[in-house]
Amino acid sequence: MTPDTADFWDGRTVMVTGGSGFLGSHLVDELRSRSDDVEVFVPRSSEYDLRERAAIRQAFVESGADTVIHLAATVGGIGANRKNPGRYFYDNAVMGIELIELARQFGVEKFTILGTICSYPNHTEVPFKEDDFFDGYPEETNAPYGIAKKALLTQSKAYRKQYDFNSIYLMPVNLYGPRDDFDIDSAHVIPAIIRKCLEARDRGDDSIIAWGTGEPTREFLHVTDAAHGILDATEELDRSEPVNLGSGAEISIRDLVETIADLTGFEGRIEWDTSKPDGQPRRKLDISRAERYFDWNASTDFEDGLRQTIEWYKSVRDEYPAGGVHHSG
């Protein structure tokens, strides 16, 4: 937030799809901290099926939203992507396409689309630059989800050109932090490893099994940094070009697992199941556009963020049934 945008949210009604989820809950907290005069409307999936045009129309009629931040997605890690390619394509494509079209019809002033770095071509040169976004096909496991999300960027550009519709398109790297999904079947890599290490430590296991070779690299962004970036961009950005949101730091899965084992107090061996897929070989973003366009940088130290996440999970882990968990990313 800058002095020029300090009152951006005052008097607005903001629809945050996915606002009760991991990223959404942090974003709503931050949004409310930026203005005492903002209405926040979170359409719950139990009441509004955002794959259905009638439900989206109802959400706009009932909320009167003039701003939309579209975070809702059907997502999962490698295992879930392999099981549900059709569902992941359909849900994410139709939800985004219909939301943007209905927002246009209802005169929405600003629409923020959350894309995904899974949309990048599989062999994009590292660091990933936004200009390379359309230069190939995504990694096969992520392609249905990635291409569904990529279609929304084309829609954003087309609607800006034909209707002067103000939408922006942001692509965060892998997120982590408190309130993440620690469910056995859908957890991404960081919560999956945290859970696996804590449960193995508590049982006194000699070893844990991690997926793949450990050689791929990933970049991670703390969820509160992502929330700040999305809101800063919504305030300041007015162009339909994709913008990466990341930390700028790259870590191998092997180093990540060893770091989490250390922070959780697991002292056993780490065994690698190389029959499991690695996913994309490297992921690291060029994050210079976000700094240039709306003066945003991530600020959370990675190990500090991991400690926060571990402590949060310890405080709620009774809500999760014990059991093994695979990891994916």
The residues spanned by each domain of the chain are 8-176+219-245
Looking at the chain, the whole-number percentage of residues with pLDDT higher than 90 is 84
Q: Model-level pTM? A: 0.92
Q: What H or E segment, with its residue span, contains residue 209? A: strand 207-211
Mean pLDDT across 132-147? 92
Query: CATH classification of 8-176+219-245, choosing from 2.130.10.10, 1.10.287.180, 2.40.10.10, 3.40.50.720?
Result: 3.40.50.720
Q: What residues does 138 pair with on adjacent strands?
A: 121
Measured CA to CA, the distance from residue 314 to residue 8 in angstroms comes to: 37
Residue 325's pLDDT is what? Answer: 41
Is the distance from CB of 314 to CB of 198 less than 8 angstroms?
Answer: yes
Mean pLDDT across 264-273? 97
Q: Which of 132-141, 231-240, 275-284 has the highest mean pLDDT?
A: 231-240
Is the distance from CB of 141 to CB of 279 less than 8 angstroms?
Answer: yes
Model pLDDT for residues 180-201, shown as the tens digit of each residue = 999 877 788 999 999 999 999 9
* Residue 184 Cα distances to 106, 175, 209, 272, 323, angstroms: 40, 17, 14, 18, 8
Cis peptide upstream of residue 127 (ω within 30 degrees of 0):
yes
Q: What residues does 220 pair with on adjacent strands?
A: 174
What's the burial of 242, exposed, middle or buried (CB within 10 Å: 0-12/13-18/19+)? buried
- Mode of pairing for the β-strands spanning 67-70 and 13-17: parallel
Is the distance from CB of 280 to CB of 122 less than 8 angstroms?
Answer: yes
pLDDT at 326 over 80: no
Residue 324's pLDDT is what? Answer: 44
Q: What DSSP string describes 22-63?
A: HHHHHHHHHHHHH-SS-EEE---TTT--TTSHHHHHHHHHHH
Measured CA to CA, the distance from residue 9 to residue 67 in angstroms comes to: 9
pLDDT at 79 over 80: no
Is the distance from CB of 184 to CB of 323 less than 8 angstroms?
Answer: yes
Measured CA to CA, the distance from residue 7 to residue 239 in angstroms comes to: 21
- Active site positions, annotated: 145
